[in-house]
């Protein structure tokens, strides 16, 4: 998509459509009022007849029939002013842009209303527009022989209401954030026969080369030497070789703080010997969503170059049922020295993350954030609308919440207290990997906590938001790339 600015007023730009916003008190922006005037009060009439109410996410497409330069107007409701935020604005933009794109629009102009600008920074709002249009209109690739879809190709902002600098700054940032989310969702969408751990490692190589990041791809032999036997055990059921991908961004060499991002990269999760039910198993191609978020975030961090240090560890393998597959009852030695009793081969994410987290600590991470499609229980608890968050450090929990808030990728904190420890007590090992259905998502956190020791740490279970059942706000149906923009914001916040 091409992004531009124009010195013309929005009523004068010759695009296919202009997106305008209206409040639930039926207030239009200055640009909106001008267009309404030029349309002989058509918008006002629709408000009078209550066909337009301004409620949040309401969306109407109108033809201008030559009264202004643009062929169509898309009017989106911003809802109640008490709830306004750049996040909600981004959602409204996405809905409006999608409507426009579905009606064949190729060139678009988007208004940034001054009633929002009074409350929020204009660069942030411009960034929200870019993310909203880019993500809301993104079409995941398909493998059809013929596929035809018109796409939005150009978008413009008007300098009549926005300063050049805020347009430029917001545009640049928005594009980097949106590109990262799109990459993550595309990787998650790729089928498992295309995207193997080896292919993921190749993608990481491209990212590292382009952004000048340090990279190390640790293969099976070196993983043996590192005693990553938990990770290796999960990988053994598959013919695909496992890869541990390390990326390092050094933006503040004098700073001792190093943010460690650890991603679950299971490129297909069959469940292992305790195989999953057939229904929905195809979705387990996206069990590497955490890894995708980490890799895409590293791409953005390497591009934006904030003043902070980040080390990324991606543990990537398949969870299959081959003759070398790990079994229930097996006891695994981990990199940390602690042992795991395997109760359930489908609780593989936590097993590989045990070694991933230990390795990130070894590499000098002073605070850790892991991100994973870890439990179906998280989906049961919070649905697809929120990420389940757990952690051992209030400051870091707060930092992640703020970053998630900025990204519009909501998180909800769950308790991680000693009273849950007994669920994973093993008679023969330091910890077992599954302890029944109760508190399923919390058990994931209880398990991982064993491998972070005293390092401040937050666990993000994105099993819900990684996949959307429908087009909704900025997310399209299918893989979403959820978590990516949260991680970028987190790194940027650290670099302030
Ligand atoms: N990858 C799954 C979790 C998952 C479920 C992600 C649904 C996305 C959508 C994970 O490896 C898994 O299988 N978890 C088990 C854990 C259980 C055996 C303790 C689960 O949630 O059933
Ligand atoms: Mn599993
Ligand atoms: Zn899994």
H or E element that contains 176: helix 164-189
Q: Is residue 490 situated within a structural domain?
A: yes
Residue range(s) defining the domain that contains residue 81: 2-137
Q: Ligand 1: does its nearest atom lie under 6 Å from the Cβ of 318?
A: no
Both 98 and 192 in one domain: the answer is no
Pick from 318, 316, 338, 335: which is nearest to 326 by CA?
318
Res 384: pLDDT: 97
Q: Report the nearest-CA residue for atom 8 of ligand 1.
A: 463
* 158 in any annotated domain: no
Question: What mean pLDDT is reported for the chain?
Answer: 97
Look at residue 150 in the predicted model and tell me its pLDDT. 86
Q: Judge whether 50 lies within some domain.
A: yes
Q: How far is CA 440 from CA 215, 253, 295, 380, 391, in A?
A: 35, 40, 27, 10, 15
For ligand 1, atom 13: residue with the closest CA: 346
**One domain, residues 132 and 186:** no
> Do 308 and 456 fall within a single domain?
yes
Of 137, 167, 199, which one is at a domain's C-terminal end?
137
Q: Does 101 fall in a domain? A: yes
103, 137, 171 — which closes off a domain? Answer: 137
Residues 413 and 357 in one domain: yes
Q: Please indicate, yes or no, whether residues 298 and 445 belong to a single structural domain of this protein.
A: yes
Atom of ligand 1 at shortest distance to CA of 271? Answer: 13
- Domain-embedded: residue 168: no
Is 350 known to be catalytic?
Answer: yes
Residue 48's alpha-carbon distances to 40, 41, 460, 481, in angstroms, are 14, 10, 46, 41
299 appears as a binding residue in the annotation: no
* 134 annotated to a ligand binding site: no
- Does some domain include residue 154? no
Contact 167, 157 (CB under 8 A): yes
Residue 351 sits in a domain of what CATH number? 3.40.630.10
- Asked whether 344 lines ligand 1 (CB < 6 A), one says yes
- Identify whether residues 132 and 189 lie together within a single domain: no
- Determine the distance separating the centroid of ligand 2 and the alpha carbon of 408, expressed in angstroms: 27
CA of 295 to the centre of ligand 3 (A): 18
Answer yes or no: do 8 and 92 share one domain.
yes
Question: Does 209 count as an annotated binding residue?
Answer: no
Q: Is the model's pLDDT at 242 over the cut of 80? A: yes
DSSP string, 377-441: HHHHHHTTT-EEEEES-HHHHHHHHHHHHHHT--EEE----GGGGGGG--SSSSEES---STTHH
In this structure, which ligand is nearest to the CA of 444?
Answer: 1
Specify whether 236 is located in the same domain as 101: no
Distance 165 CA to ligand 2 centre (A): 47
pLDDT at 179: 98
Assess whether 84 and 211 both reside in one domain: no
For 444-473, what is each residue's pLDDT tens digit? Answer: 999 999 999 999 999 999 999 999 999 999
Which of 105, 121, 137 is where one domain is finished? 137
Q: Is 182 a catalytic residue?
A: no
Task: State which ligand 1 atom lies nearest to the alpha carbon of 466.
Answer: 8
- Report the length, in residues, of the chain: 496
461 lines ligand 1 (CB under 6 A): no
The two three-digit tokens of residue 293, written as one number: 């978020």
- Give the number of the ligand closest to the Cα of residue 317: 3
> How far apart are alpha carbons 135 and 179 in whole angstroms?
9
List strands edge to edge, sheet with 243-250. Answer: 214-218, 243-250, 309-319, 259-269, 367-372, 457-461, 387-391, 411-413
Residues ≥6 apart with Cβ < 8 Å to 369: 259, 260, 261, 262, 396, 400, 457, 458, 459, 460, 487, 490
Question: Among 32-36, 140-144, 243-247, whose mean pLDDT is lowest?
Answer: 140-144
Q: State whether 133 and 186 are in the same domain.
A: no
Q: Do 411 and 283 fall within a single domain? A: yes
pLDDT bin (cut points 50, 70, 90) of residue 337 is very high
Exactly one of 154, 220, 276, 413 is catalytic; name it: 276
Our count of domains for the chain comes to 2
Whether 146 shows a pLDDT value over 90: the answer reads no
User: What pLDDT score does 148 carry?
Assistant: 76
- Number of the ligand closest to the Cα of 283: 1
How far, in Å, is the centroid of ligand 2 from the Cα of 420?
Answer: 21
Q: Residue 142 domain-assigned?
A: no
- Considering 72, 175, 183, 350, which one is annotated as catalytic? 350
Claim to verify: residue 119 and residue 209 sit in the same structural domain:
no
Instruction: Decide if 170 is inside a domain.
Output: no
CATH code (residue 11): 3.40.220.10
With bands split at pLDDT 50, 70 and 90, how would you rate the model's confidence at 57?
A: very high
Question: In which order are the strands placed within the sheet that holds 331-333?
Answer: 331-333, 339-341, 431-432
| Pocket lining: 373 vs ligand 1, CB cutoff 6 Å | yes
The predicted-structure confidence for 199-222, as pLDDT tens digits, reads as follows 999 999 999 999 999 999 999 999
Q: pLDDT digit string (tens) for 262-288?
A: 999 999 999 999 999 999 999 999 999
62 membership: H or E segment, kind and range: strand 59-63
Mean pLDDT within 5-34: 97
């Amino acid at each position: 998509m091409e992004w531009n600015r124009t010195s013309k007023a929005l009523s004068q730009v010759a695009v296919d459509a202009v997106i305008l916003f209206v409040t639930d008190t039926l207030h239009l922006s200055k640009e909106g009022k001008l267009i309404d005037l030029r349309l002989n009060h058509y918008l006002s009439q629709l408000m009078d007849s209550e066909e337009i109410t301004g409620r949040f996410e309401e969306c109407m497409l109108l033809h201008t029939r030559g009264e202004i330069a643009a062929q169509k107007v898309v009017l989106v409701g911003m809802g109640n002013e008490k709830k306004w935020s750049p996040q909600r604005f981004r959602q409204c933009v996405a809905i409006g842009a999608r409507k426009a794109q579905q009606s064949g629009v190729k060139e678009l102009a988007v208004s940034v209303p001054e009633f929002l600008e009074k409350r929020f920074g204009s660069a942030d709002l411009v960034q929200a527009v870019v993310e909203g249009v880019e993500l809301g209109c993104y079409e995941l690739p398909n493998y059809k022989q013929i596929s035809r879809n018109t796409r939005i190709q150009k978008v413009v902002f008007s300098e009549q209401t926005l300063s050049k600098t805020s347009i430029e700054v917001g545009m640049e940032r928005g594009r980097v954030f949106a590109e990262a989310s799109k990459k993550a969702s595309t990787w998650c969408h790729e089928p498992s026969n295309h995207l193997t751990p080896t292919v993921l490692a190749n993608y990481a190589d491209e990212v590292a080369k382009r952004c000048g990041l340090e990279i190390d791809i640790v293969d099976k032999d070196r993983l043996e030497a590192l005693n990553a036997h938990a990770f290796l055990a999960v990988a053994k059921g598959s013919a695909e070789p496992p890869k541990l991908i390390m990326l390092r961004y050094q933006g503040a060499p004098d700073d001792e703080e190093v943010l460690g991002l650890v991603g679950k990269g299971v490129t297909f999760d069959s469940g292992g010997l305790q195989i999953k039910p057939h229904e929905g198993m195809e979705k387990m191609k996206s069990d590497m969503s955490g890894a995708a978020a980490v890799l895409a975030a590293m791409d953005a961090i390497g591009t934006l170059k904030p003043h902070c240090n980040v080390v990324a560890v991606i543990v990537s393998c398949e969870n299959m049922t081959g003759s070398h597959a790990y079994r229930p009852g097996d006891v695994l030695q981990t990199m940390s020295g602690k042992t795991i009793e395997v109760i359930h081969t489908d609780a593989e994410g936590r097993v590989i993350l045990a070694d991933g987290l230990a390795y990130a600590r070894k590499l000098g991470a002073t605070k850790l954030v892991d991100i994973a499609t870890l439990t179906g229980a998280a989906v049961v608890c919070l649905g697809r609308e929120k990420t389940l968050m757990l952690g051992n450090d209030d400051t870091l929990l707060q930092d992640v919440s703020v970053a998630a808030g900025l990204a519009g990728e909501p998180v909800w904190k769950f308790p991680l207290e000693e009273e849950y420890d007994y669920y994973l007590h093993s008679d023969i090992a330091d910890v077992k990997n599954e302890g029944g259905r109760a508190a399923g998502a919390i058990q994931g956190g209880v398990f991982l906590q064993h491998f972070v020791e005293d390092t401040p740490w937050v666990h993000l279970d994105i099993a819900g938001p990684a996949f959307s059942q429908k087009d909704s706000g900025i997310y399209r149906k299918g893989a979403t790339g959820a978590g990516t923009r949260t991680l970028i914001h987190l790194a940027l916040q650290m670099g302030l």
